[in-house]
Amino acid sequence: MSRAMALLSREAALAWGRGGGPMVSLAFYAGVATLLPLATGPEPARLAAIAPGAAWVALALAALLSLDRLFERDYEDGALDLLTLSSVPLEIACAIKCLGQWLATAAPLAFAAPVAAIALGAKPHLAPLIFACALMGGLAFAFVGGIGAALSLGARRGGLLTAVIVLPLFVPPVIFGGGALDSFAGGLPWKAGFALLAAYAAAAVALGPIAMAAACRNALS
Amino acid sequence: MIEALVIENLALERGGRLLFSGLSLELPAGRAAALVGRNGAGKTSLLRAIAGLVPLAEGAVRFGSLDAVDARAEHIHLAGHQDGQKPARTAWEELAFWARWSGASETAAREAAARLELTRLLDLEVRRLSAGQRRRLSLARLLAAPRALWLLDEPLSPLDADWRARFGEIMGEHLAGGGMIVAAVHDPLPIPALTVEIGETAP
């Protein structure tokens, strides 16, 4: 257990250093909240309608930005070799890496997402659901994204390959989470959408590490 | 504890090219083997194959009576140029993590750092260390977490003459305690070792 905790704190610190942390996510959302009204026109009604969706897209893109470093550096500097020589299975180590990534990048983004959406004119009562969706969606993005990052290990322009592999897998959580937010804003039943999002995240957490570990072993050999 | 490292009729391939074949070696506890051969002969690949990172094209690697998975999880240290230490983290953060990951306590990591005279460097970022200091930092993990089999890739190359001799003493103590060392080298090891030529058997 102490090994797992040691790895988690190291991974969170590393992810924080390579583009996580509260300031980076705040700056990211500040950029979205500033540019979106300029790009779509400032009518409050239109902005309010697309604000939750914009927060979602920003979350997915922010997750994508930090992914290509998740395994690449450890692969290049030999850390991945040493991680395999432990009684902690590589699958668990991969899951911990994604969890660290989520803690350092997605959790601060989840706190910033409702603020950005409200600043764009979303109704304040949407804030808790936006937060919950961002937290759950971030988990799915981290674990699904980890598969892409591990599969593109050792490839030239691995970042581009990661994006191509991962984007189709990002579609379901965006649809489920965005649907839940839309329904909630329109006073319709929203729990089904959120439950689907949670189910997708659970599946990613359960199955993702197996795929990641297999991809890492393949890249190392 | 591993009683012996046994390699039987081993062949390795990299990228579809045969590196060597027919390699057999039996290394009992308390002995060291020095792998020698030209660049690209497969010395590093052999170390990685023993560690289970590279698939065997042919043959077998056995760790006494231990199951290979258990042996690799708890009884092997691998140390080479790629030490996994992140330049932006401090020397202590990196040593403490890798020692804990190998199952050692923080106290053991501090003692290992003191033995390798790293104590006053521990607050520095890894990027500020010289190549020799950085190598000593990665070798400190081997002292902190006792494991029977050390797989060393050019362990002495960045060390100065004084530290080569001192690490020779440390390797001698490891062997005297029943450990084993397999080291890829270009210069002779400062300890008695069985010399294994890599690449000679390739067609």
Q: Which residues of B147-156 are buried (b: 16+ CB within 10 A; e: fewer)?
A: bbbbbbbbbb
Q: Residue A36's pLDDT is what?
A: 84
A218 CA: distance to closest CA in chain B (Å): 9
Q: Residue A158's pLDDT is what?
A: 74
What residues in A contact B86, CB-CB < 8 Å? 14, 73, 77, 79
In whole angstroms, what is the distance from residue B153 CA to residue B120 CA? 26
In this predicted structure, which of A48-57, A132-141, A184-193, B117-126 has the lowest mean pLDDT? A48-57
Q: Residue B56's pLDDT is what?
A: 92
**A82 with B84: Cβ contact below 8 A:** yes
Q: Residue A34's pLDDT is what?
A: 85
Report the 10 Å Cβ neighbour count for A3: 18
Q: Which residues contact B38 (CB under 8 A, 6 or more apart)?
A: B199
A13 CA: distance to closest CA in chain B (Å): 9
Please name the residues between 88 and 117 in chain B that touch chain A, using a CB distance below 8 Å.
88-89, 93, 96-98, 100-103
pLDDT tens for each residue of A92-128: 999 999 999 898 888 888 888 888 888 888 888 888 9
In whole angstroms, what is the distance from residue B128 CA to residue B90 CA? 9
Q: Are B80 and B153 in contact (CB under 8 A)?
A: yes
Q: Total structural domains in chain A?
A: 1
What residues in A contact B102, CB-CB < 8 Å? 85-86
Mean pLDDT of the region B25-38: 92
A145 CA: distance to closest CA in chain B (Å): 22
Report the 10 Å Cβ neighbour count for A86: 18
Q: How many CA atoms lie within 13 A of B138 on its CB side?
A: 31
**What CA–CA distances, in Å, run from B35 to A52, B63, B197, B200?**
61, 18, 6, 12
Q: Residue A20's pLDDT is what?
A: 61
pLDDT tens for each residue of A33-83: 888 888 888 888 888 888 888 888 888 888 887 787 789 889 989 999 999
| Residue B166 predicted with pLDDT over 60 | yes
| Residue B175 predicted with pLDDT over 50 | yes
DSSP string, A142-206: HHHHHHHHHHTTT-TTHHHHHHHHHHHHHHHHHHHHHHHHHHHHTTS--HHHHHHHHHHHHHHHH
DSSP string, B33-48: EEEE-STTSSHHHHHH
pLDDT tens for each residue of B45-92: 999 999 999 999 999 999 988 898 888 989 999 998 889 999 989 999
Q: Residue A138's pLDDT is what?
A: 92
In chain A, pLDDT over 70 holds for what percent of residues?
97
Q: Using CB atoms within 10 Å of the CB of residue A82, give its burial: 0 to 12 exposed, 13 to 18 middle, 19+ buried.
A: buried
What residues in A contact B81, CB-CB < 8 Å? 78
Report residue B68 as tokens. Answer: 């290979």
Mean pLDDT of the region A175-187: 88
Under an 8 Å CB criterion, which residues of A touch B? 2-3, 6-7, 10, 13-14, 17, 73-74, 76-88, 220-221
Q: Using CB atoms within 10 Å of the CB of residue A62, give its burial: 0 to 12 exposed, 13 to 18 middle, 19+ buried.
A: buried
**B74 with A83: Cβ contact below 8 A:** no
The residue that leads in pLDDT, A122 or B147, is B147
The amino acid that residue B194 corresponds to is L
Give all domains of chain B, ordered by start, each with its CATH number.
1-75+148-203 (3.40.50.300), 86-146 (no CATH)
| Residue B201 predicted with pLDDT over 60 | no
**B97 with A87: Cβ contact below 8 A:** no
Residue B20 sits at the chain A interface (C-beta within 8 Å) = no
**A85 with B88: Cβ contact below 8 A:** no
**What CA–CA distances, in Å, run from B18 to A134, A154, B15, B81, B195?**
51, 22, 8, 24, 22
- Residue in A85, A87, A96 to test binding to B, most B beta-carbons within 10 Å: A85
Mean pLDDT of the region A127-140: 92
In whole angstroms, what is the distance from residue A121 CA to residue A48 CA? 4
Mean pLDDT of the region B113-124: 92
Residue A193 sits in which domain range?
A: 2-220
| Residue A21 predicted with pLDDT over 80 | no
In whole angstroms, what is the distance from residue A100 CA to residue A90 CA? 15
Per-chain mean pLDDT for chain B: 90
Nearest to A137 by CA among A64, A203, A198: A198
- Position B202 confidence tier, pLDDT thresholds 50, 70, 90: very low
- Residue in B44, B76, B85, B101 to test binding to A, most A beta-carbons within 10 Å: B101
In whole angstroms, what is the distance from residue A211 CA to residue A219 CA? 12
In whole angstroms, what is the distance from residue B95 CA to residue B84 CA? 10
The residue that leads in pLDDT, A8 or A67, is A8
| Residue B203 predicted with pLDDT over 50 | no
- Position A30 confidence tier, pLDDT thresholds 50, 70, 90: confident
| Residue A29 predicted with pLDDT over 90 | no
Q: Are B181 and B33 in contact (CB under 8 A)?
A: yes
In this predicted structure, which of A82-96, A130-144, B32-46, B189-203 has the lowest mean pLDDT? B189-203
A50 CA: distance to closest CA in chain B (Å): 40
- Minimal Cα distance from A80: which residue of B? B84
Mean pLDDT of the region B85-114: 92
What residues in A contact B77, CB-CB < 8 Å? 85
Selecting from A3, A13, A220 the residue whose C-beta is nearest the C-beta of B101 gives A3
The amino acid that residue A220 corresponds to is L
Instruction: Count residue pairs from A and B with Cβ separation < 8 A.
Output: 70
| Residue B118 predicted with pLDDT over 70 | yes
3-state class (DSSP) for residue B14: strand
In the block, tokens 């790629």 appear at B82
Q: Residue B49's pLDDT is what?
A: 93
The residue that leads in pLDDT, A198 or A181, is A198
What residues in A contact B106, CB-CB < 8 Å? none
In whole angstroms, what is the distance from residue B67 CA to residue B71 CA? 6
Selecting from B54, B76, B96 the residue whose C-beta is nearest the C-beta of A85 gives B76
- Minimal Cα distance from B98: which residue of A? A82
Q: Residue A72's pLDDT is what?
A: 87
**B55 with A221: Cβ contact below 8 A:** yes
In chain B, pLDDT over 70 holds for what percent of residues?
98
DSSP string, A79-123: HHHHHHSSSS-HHHHHHHHHHHHIIIIIHHHHHHHHHHHHHTT--
